[in-house]
Amino acid sequence: MTPEIAAAAVPSTLDVARVRADFPILSRTVNGKPLGYLDNAATTQKPRAVLDALTSYYTGINANVHRGVHELSQQATDAYEGARERVRQYFHAASTREIVFTRNATEGINLVAFTFVKQRLQAGDEVLISAMEHHSNIVPWQLVCEAAGAHLRVAPIDDRGELLLDEFERLLTPRTRIASITHMSNALGTVTPVREIVRLAHAKGVPVLIDASQAAYHMRVDVQALDCDFLVATGHKLYGPTGIGVLYGKEAHLEAMPPFMGGGDMISSVTFEKSTWNVLPYKFEAGTPDIAGAIGLHAALDYIDATGLDAIAAHERDLLAYGTGVLEAIDGVRLIGTARDKASILSFVMDGVHPHDIGTIVDREGIAIRTGHHCAQPVMERFKIPATARASLAMYNTREELDALGRALRKVREVFA
Ligand SMILES: Cc1ncc(COP(=O)(O)O)c(C=O)c1O
């Protein structure tokens, strides 16, 4: 265990048995063994409260929103807009006009790339990201840069997986049109110094998008405290349904941006000659939205807050420290990503064993981990490895599951001895 991680470990106060009882899927078996779900960075499991919210929406008030005068439509609209207000509270935005529902984080980043950034981007301009971004925070920028003849700049990371802040600062130039940086790396677990990132960028007049896809279910994310210009999150990692995501944008930016997609609901008037746009945030929500998804996300955020993000974070810190110890005790295992500020991700390689073989063998023991490049191929390149095995933690995980992972990895060792 690294001293930093050991020092971070504090006793957990979370009643994990009670939490686990709220997640129906956790009681199933896989390959005849109790499920040990350690693939939370890919998606989290859903508490019964979320499943119930989806069912009661469809059985009680299913109707399209914003369009009907009938009672069901009004109830569905109230529930959908109630979800927006809940998201506003969760991320502490100043106004619901700043909360746009998207399909996922990827759509939020594309929206900003193709509306806020694309029309400001001239040949020779720059977009700044970091070397530990998820593909969804790389490829949209490549698309808009390529179209404009602009350049994608990449702030490097060190061998621990920490962002080199001085390099980041150096790469902020008068040509930088946006910096788009992860709050927490899905491949390494690194938590980035987002406040400092925003401060440095703003000092040079550069707006900042924060990708909070991973951070948002592990720690408090406050858009006003961060002073970020945009932030994206994705519902299915927040213990909510798939198909719903969140884009936060400062109102002045969103007002100035053209629509991303055209269609119903995002207009104020339409003629064949000209259409005009709806007010915020509807200008960015073309077509029937994921009403059920928003309502499910509302229930998920209620569940997280009722459980307590501080208690969740303390429990996950304990698991991270414990899991680090479990992995370090296994012959030939090397952790990839040892940042001093790190959360809930144990990415590792094992001498002489391909990560896919690790994943397959531990699956036979009922343990779900992810193997591959984790949609972060440049991170793999940075560490000169093809892939890692990754165990990622959430509020319902236990030390026993990490022990089971350790036993399964010893079997991997035996098979490849
Ligand atoms: C850091 C990070 N950013 C963005 C994404 C993309 O999320 P989604 O696929 O839900 O859009 C992920 C998903 O793994 C992620 O971990």
Mutate which of 107, 136, 236, 297 for ligand 1? The one with the most ligand atoms within 8 Å of its CB, which is 136
Q: How do residues 372-386 score in pLDDT, each as one tens digit?
A: 999 999 999 999 999
Whether 375 is catalytic is: yes
Specify the residue with its C-alpha closest to ligand 1, atom 7.
Answer: 105
pLDDT at 67: 80
pLDDT at 87: 98
Residue 239: pLDDT above 80?
Answer: yes
pLDDT mean over 360-376: 96
Q: Ligand 1 center to residue 295 CA distance, Å?
A: 21
pLDDT at 7: 39
Q: Ligand 1 center to residue 40 CA distance, Å?
A: 12
> Which CA distances in Å does 288 have to 243, 257, 267, 294?
13, 21, 13, 12
Q: Which two tokens stand for residue 408?
A: 């399964």
Q: Which two tokens stand for residue 406?
A: 């350790």
**Mean pLDDT, the chain, as a whole number?**
96
CA-242 nearest atom, ligand 1: 10
Q: Ligand 1 center to residue 324 CA distance, Å?
A: 24
Q: How do residues 241-285 score in pLDDT, each as one tens digit?
A: 999 999 999 999 999 999 999 999 999 999 999 999 999 999 999
pLDDT mean over 357-377: 96
pLDDT at 12: 65
pLDDT at 4: 40
pLDDT at 6: 42
Asked whether the beta carbons of 380 and 388 are under 8 A apart, the reply is yes
Residue 9: pLDDT above 80?
Answer: no
Determine if ligand 1 sits within 6 Å of the CB of residue 46.
no
149 compared with 11, residue with greater pLDDT: 149
Q: How do residues 15-55 score in pLDDT, each as one tens digit?
A: 999 999 999 999 999 999 999 999 999 999 999 999 999 99
Mutate which of 40, 43, 106 for ligand 1? The one with the most ligand atoms within 8 Å of its CB, which is 106
Determine if ligand 1 sits within 6 Å of the CB of residue 344.
no
CA-183 nearest atom, ligand 1: 1
CA-186 nearest atom, ligand 1: 16
Q: How do residues 117-133 score in pLDDT, each as one tens digit?
A: 998 999 999 999 999 99
Determine if ligand 1 sits within 6 Å of the CB of residue 213.
yes
Cα separation, 227 vs 317, whole angstroms:
26
pLDDT at 11: 54
Catalytic residue among 1, 63, 330, 375: 375
pLDDT mean over 228-240: 98
pLDDT at 2: 41
pLDDT at 401: 98
pLDDT mean over 286-304: 98
Residue 287: pLDDT above 90?
Answer: yes
